[in-house]
Structure 1
Amino acid sequence: MKITSGRFKYRNIEVPQGIRPTTEKVREAIFSVISAWIPDAEVLDLFAGSGAMGLEALSRGAARCTFVESDRRNQKVIAANIGNCGAGEISRIVGRDYAAALAELANGSKDRRFDVVIIDPPYEKTGYYDTALRLLQEYELIDDASIVVCEHLYNNKLSDTYSNLQKIKEKKYGTIGVDTFTIL
């Protein structure tokens, strides 16, 4: 797998065994939708897996990315991929469960806000979306200038609203659904 655009274009991304990476087609589609939010953005890649989505954002001009991944083997792969792209200075790996990581990020800085959040848990973990979207708001990690992207199985529909978050776009790519939310 490779980065598709930007300063890290064509860099190889190692994918951990057992991970379902976002396809190139879907990554391109996601970044075409959120391109206005990327320059100089603070990005949060939840359930980072290989780190491909966060690295794609950094490649396209994001300022920094925080990668949240609980699996230690995957964390090592993310670290190697960050190193391969030379993105160590603008990357942070939080090796914790997503809920604990969000609490840690909220406690780390009172002004911590993410411009772009990418949520892509294992597809069978449908409850993770509800919890992650609730905690992002509860911990004030996003605001009305933020965009949140959720990748899921298209048949596992997400709600149109989660508290103050409103779905602004829903796309289908084969069996994959990509929903985009913002605070309205």
Structure 2
Amino acid sequence: MRVISGSAKGHKLKSLKGMATRPTADRIKESLFNIIAAYLPDAYVLDLFAGTGSLGIESLSRGAEFVVFVDKNPMAVRIISENLLHTKLNEKAKVYNCDWSEYISRFSNAERKYDIIFMDPPYSKGFIIPVLQKIWQKQLLSIEGMIIVEREKGDVIPELIEGLKIVREQHYGRTVITFIQYHK
């Protein structure tokens, strides 16, 4: 696993051993970042269920202003911190060792909205809808912002969820990347 483009291009990223995380495959990551390239410059990004931090680090490498990483696994948080130091992007990031719900309830700043929110929760565990509902309730997304959900094909998301709507989906075998914005 590596940083594909930008200031940290080519840097290899550490990952957790075993099945504790499921890093986004490089080919999926490359396709995803080609799709969102116009959204990245100066973006404020939230990486929920961050795992190795690969998506947030790629965002920083490609020009995002700041990334908040959230993961409840202390080993994942350590790996994210090491990857940020290795890529020299640590000054543009904050890492939280907590559950997604705790972060949104206690630490999210209503004054600053996120331009991009990455969600890569464990597959088939029922996280997607509650997280989307909480993001909507707390109004964490900027007006033109985007939520990007990596999910397994079997994890279905309704077309509309409390003020949010699916605007695009990309299929990569069993993996689906779903792009969600405010319903206007």
* Off by >6 Å, runs of 4+ in structure 1: none
AA aligned to 2:170 is: K
> Do residues 36 (structure 1) and 38 (structure 2) align?
yes
> For 2:162 and 2:34, how far apart are their aligned partners in 1?
26
Deviation of the 1:122 alpha carbon? 1.0
Local SS of the residue matching 1:144: strand
Residue 48 of structure 2 is matched in structure 1 by 46
Once the two structures are aligned, what percentage of the paired residues are identical? 28
Deviation of the 1:154 alpha carbon? 1.4
* Aligned residues between the structures: 181
AA aligned to 1:83 is: L
Q: For the aligned residues, what is the CA RMSD?
A: 1.0
Residue 176 of structure 2 is matched in structure 1 by 177
Residue 143 of structure 1 is matched in structure 2 by 142
Contact kept? 1:105, 1:112, Cα under 8 Å:
no
Q: TM-score scaled by structure 1?
A: 0.95
Residue 115 of structure 2 is matched in structure 1 by 115
Contact kept? 2:124, 2:154, Cα under 8 Å:
no
Residue 93 of structure 1 is matched in structure 2 by 95
Deviation of the 1:103 alpha carbon? 1.1
Deviation of the 1:15 alpha carbon? 0.7
- The structure-2 alpha-carbon separation of the partners of 1:148 and 1:110, relative to structure 1 and needing over 3 Å to count, comes to closer
- The structure-2 alpha-carbon separation of the partners of 1:180 and 1:122, relative to structure 1 and needing over 3 Å to count, comes to same
Residue 158 of structure 1 is matched in structure 2 by 157
Q: Deviations over 1:24-48 (max 9, x none)?
A: 1110111122111110000000000
> For 1:62 and 1:139, how far apart are their aligned partners in 2?
22
Deviation of the 1:143 alpha carbon? 3.1
Contact kept? 1:150, 1:180, Cα under 8 Å:
yes
> For 1:110 and 1:177, how far apart are their aligned partners in 2?
29
Deviation of the 1:94 alpha carbon? 1.0
